[in-house]
Amino acid sequence: MEIMEKIVSLCKRRGIIFPGSEIYEGITGFWDYGPVGVEMKNNLKREWWKYMVYGREDVVGLDAAIVMNPKVWEASGHVKSFVDPLVECKICHQRFRSDKKSEIDAHEKLHKDEKVDWTEPKMFNILTEVYLGVTEPKQKAYLRGEITQGVFVNFRNVVDSTRVKIPFGIAQIGKAFRNEITPGNFTYRSREFEQMELEYFIKPNEEEGKRWFSKWKETRLEWYKSLGINEKNLRFRDHEVDERAHYARFATDIEYMAPFGWSEFEGIHHRGDWDLSRHKLTYKDSETGEEYTPWVIETSGGVDRAFLFFLIDSYREEEKRIFLKLHPKLAPVKAAVFPLVRNKENIVAKAKDVYKMLKSHFVTAFDDRGNIGKRYLAQDEIGTPYCVTIDYQTLEDGTVTIRDRDTTKQERIKIDELVGTVSKVL
């Protein structure tokens, strides 16, 4: 089985990701995160927020509405320019984005001996329309195609209501929607997805622009590395002039070596004064009185893509088990507690006590089904760093066995030492 099939199957089996609306044959480009997946997704977003907002003194947060006045999207250029070029294979009538060369090449290979003839590219706007109100004519609006515009339209509100001074950033995490022509590669290209973005406002100056652009590139790469992604699977790729978004003066992607090839999971964009000038917003320096339109350096990551790449990167197969070598900070469950046997009341009661105690510190699972080996395998598959077993000896001396996910080695420690041992890796 190909690695992607294995990951999709693991996600379904362990409650990580389910196909959207599955009992009604699904819906292309939409995915649901299960009980395990939502924990990992929240961890990912929390780590990002800690690093990008709490870890700095020059960034504040925001949570803007998904639906905005459509004038926002006209001003930002998305109504006119948020388009993808669609081509159709004249042999099998499948549709593709002509700017995704690797996908075009892969399709041409499928037809082996036949020479693929493509239709001329047609441009399609990928903003998702919604209609508001109950009486006709309903008001046409859009689900946001990037979370970014919510930051720009609140630029003045943030400046006036906080103590931020240029250079400073506004961070946001939230859902975005795109009517993608070719959703695919599991969650990689979805129609509903989440973004985690920073808009960093600087003085309009070429040197400042270059300095902050390269600083943010490195800072963002560091974040992925700090959460354990294998450096060899990461690279920067500068955008060619003709692939840059309409708002970008220049752009670089952070790419991951996915099973389907090098793939973008975060874009660093120099947006210049494109957005603020479109929204007619300026900044006045309170000390010098100087008024200008700031430039923006943006870091725009996909939560779902990062999630997928952390899964792929941590996926391990050994002779007798599959496990996710996730950074403990990302692991959905931090510890699992097992009673060695389920028919000894005092062992089960002790295990429940330990479970409740750990649960008040971090996400903890309790499992008394089947044999202990199967319980280990189930936790390994969702990347739980530690499994704790309560046995006969626990009742005598208050010690338990603690098993390390990566080495499978077991150690005996006191119940009192459990919280400290697990917390150390978080």
Two structure tokens written together for 379: 């936790």
Residue 188 and residue 100 in contact, taking contact as beta carbons nearer than 8 Å: no
Q: By CB under 6 A, is residue 220 in contact with ligand GAP? A: no
* Buried b or exposed e, range 181-193, using 16+ CB within 10 angstroms: bbbebbbbbbbbb
Q: Is 267 one of the binding residues for ligand GAP (CB under 6 A)?
A: yes
Euclidean distance between CA atoms 167 and 294, whole angstroms: 9
Nearest distance in Å: CB 426, ligand GAP: 26
Choose one: 3-11, 282-290, 298-306, 328-336; the region binding ligand GAP (CB under 6 A).
298-306
CA–CA dist 297, 210 (Å, integer)? 9
Q: Give the DSSP letter of residue 50.
A: I
Q: Is residue 266 at the binding interface for ligand GAP, with CB under 6 A as the rule?
A: yes
Residues in CB range of 343: below 8 A, 6 or more apart: none
- Nearest approach in angstroms of CB 64 to ligand GAP is 13
Over the window 246 to 265, marking each residue x when it contacts ligand GAP by CB under 6 A and - when it does not, the resulting string is ------------------xx
What mask, x for binding ligand GAP by CB under 6 A, covers residues 40 to 79?
----------------------------------------
Site map (CB under 6 A) of ligand GAP, residues 172-191, x = contact: ------x-x--------xx-
Residue 309 contacts ligand GAP per CB under 6 A:
no
Displacement of CA 345 from its chain's centroid (Å): 43
- Hey, what are 176's tokens? 């975005």
Please state the closest distance from residue 195 (CB atom) to ligand GAP, in A. 5
CA distances from residue 394 to 339, 354, 361, 379, 384 in whole angstroms, order as listed = 10, 11, 21, 22, 22
Residues 135-164 that bind ligand GAP (CB under 6 A): 146, 148
Residues in the chain, overall count: 426
Alpha-carbon torsion angle 85, 86, 87, 91, nearest 10: 160
Residue nearest to ligand GAP (CB): 302
Q: How far is the CB of 149 from ligand GAP (least distance, A)?
A: 8
Q: Tell me how crowded residue 134 is: count the other CB atoms within 10 A of its CB.
A: 6
From 31, 48, 193, 200, residue interacting with ligand GAP (rule: CB under 6 A) = 193
- 302 or 328: whose CB is closer to ligand GAP? 302
Asked if 327 is part of the footprint of ligand GAP (rule: CB under 6 A), the reply reads no
When the beta carbons of 189 and 279 are compared against ligand GAP, the nearer one is 189
Distance CA 160, CA 19 (A): 43
User: What's the Cα-to-Cα distance from 251 to each of 228, 240, 396, rounded to whole Å?
Assistant: 25, 8, 63
Nearer to ligand GAP, 190 or 314 (CB): 190
Q: Judged by CB, which is closer to ligand GAP: 81, or 423?
A: 81
Nearer to ligand GAP, 304 or 391 (CB): 304
3-class secondary structure, 209: helix
Specify the stretch interacting with ligand GAP by CB under 6 A; choose among 1-9, 54-62, 164-172, 192-200.
192-200
Q: Find tokens 């990347």 and name the residue.
A: 383
Closest C-alpha among 72, 91, 92 to residue 82: 72
Among 107, 220, 270, 305, binds ligand GAP (CB under 6 A): 305
Q: How many residues bind ligand GAP (CB under 6 A)?
A: 19
Applying CB under 6 A, among 37, 169, 272, 301 the residue interacting with ligand GAP is: 301
Nearest residue to 57 via CA among 162, 155, 133: 162
Closer Cβ to ligand GAP, 42 or 128, answer by number? 128
Q: State how far the Cα of 165 lies from the Cα of 42, in Å rounded to an integer.
A: 30
State the residues that interact with ligand GAP by CB under 6 A. 146, 148, 178, 180, 189-190, 193, 195, 197, 264-267, 298, 300-302, 304-305
